[in-house]
Chains A and B, each alone.
Chain A
C-alpha cells in the first residue's frame, strides 16, 4: 500500500471509528470478545483497503466489511489463550463506564442485543438513517424484506417500552 493510501486510510478510519464501536457493542456481550472483534474488523478493513472502490461512501464500505466480520465472527474459548501473544491495535472503552447521561443509547444497545444477527445489522443501518434501498443493497436482501423486518422491530420496541412504562 502506498504512503498516500495509508494516510487516507488513517484519516478515514479516525473519522468513522465510531462505526466499529457501535458494531462491537451490538454484537458482543463480553469485553474480550468486543476487543477481539474490533481488532478483526480493523485488520480486515486494512487488508481490504487496496480494493476499496471510492464510488462507494467510505462509511458504507466500512459498514459492509464490519457487519460481515461481525456476523461471521466465531470465537472458540481456546483462542482466549492466544490473547497474551496478541498485539493490541485497538482499545475499546467499556460501555458500562461510558457517560451515564446517554441513557437512551444504553437502552438501545440493550434492545439491539436481544435481536438476531440480521436484525441487528438492519437496526444499525436504520439508525444511521440509511434508506431501505441502501440497507437492502448492503445486506443483499430485498427491500420488502427490510421493510417487513423494520416494521416488526419497531413493533417489538414499542411493546417493550409500553411494558417497561407500565
Chain B
C-alpha cells in the first residue's frame, strides 16, 4: 500500500467529520485571552521584575564605584560584576521583546526556536551565573570591602595571587566549555539532556529534541 493511495480517504474525512466537531461561536467571541497567552504574559511580567532587580544591582554597583573610584581590586571587581548585571539586563529586555513578538502564524521551526529561547531563560541565567564563577574573587573582594572596609588584595601574598589567578583561568576554561555545550544542538548527549532537565524541566528537553531533529537532515 502506498501513502498516496490514502490521500483521497484522508481528504474525504473533512466532510465526514463535520459533525464530529462542534464550535460554540458565541462563547468563542467572548474570549480575550487563552492559556498560552496567559502563560506568555506571566513570563513577560516575570522578566520585567527581573529587569528591575538587575537595574537596581547596576545602580548600586555604579554608586559603589563612584563613591571610591580608584584603581583597586574592589572597584575592578565591581566593574566585572556590573558587566554581568548589564548582560543579564540586556538578556531580559531581549526576552520581553521576544515574548511580545510571538506570532503563531510563523513557520513552525521559527516559532519553536522563539519558544525555545523564551523557555530557556532560566538556563541562560544559570549559564550567566556559571560564567561569573571564574570571577569568584570579585565577590570576595567586594564583600571584604563592604563588611570590613578592607582591600583584601593588599594582604594577599604573591603565591596566593598566582594560585587564585591560575584557578580562575582553569575555571574559565571549564565553564566556557560547559556554557558552549548547554545548547539544544547537544541535547542527545546524556549529561546535557540531564542538566537541561534538572535546570529547567522536561518541556525544554522536548523542545530541544524537536529543534535538533528538524535540523538533523539540514546539516
Contacts and interface: CB of A to CB of B under 8 A. Distances in A.
Interface of A: 6, 10, 13-14, 17-22, 38-40, 42-44, 46-48, 51-53, 56, 61, 64-65, 67-69, 71-72, 74, 87-93, 98-99, 102, 104-105, 108, 116-118, 121, 126-129, 137-142, 144-145, 148-150, 153-154, 157-158, 161
B104 A69 contact: yes
Interface stretch (B24-32, B47-55, B79-87): B24-32
B1 A158 contact: yes
B31 to A, nearest CB: 5
Interface string B182-219: 00000000000000000000010011001001100110
Given A21-B20, A127-B6, A148-B217, A6 B29 contact: yes
9 contacts: A72-B207, A99-B16, A105-B9, A108-B9, A126-B3, A145-B217, A153-B3, A157-B3, A161-B1
A108 B10 contact: yes
B23 A89 contact: yes
Contacts of A127: 3, 6-7, 10-11
Contact of B206 (A53, A69, A74, A98): A74
Nearest to A1: B29
A90 B31 CA distance: 13
A148 B25 CA distance: 40
A51 to B, nearest CB: 7
B17 interface: yes
A47 B33 contact: yes
Interface residues of B, number: 50
Interface in B99-118: 103-112, 115
A64 B104 contact: yes
A111 B10 CA distance: 13
Contacts of A121: 108
Contacts of A102: 9, 13, 16
Given A43-B34, A145-B218, A17 B23 contact: yes
B70 interface: no
A92 B21 contact: yes
A61 B105 contact: yes
B154 interface: no
A28 B53 CA distance: 40
Contact of A64 (B2, B11, B106, B218): B106
A117 B110 contact: no
Contacts of A90: 21-24
Contacts of A67: 108
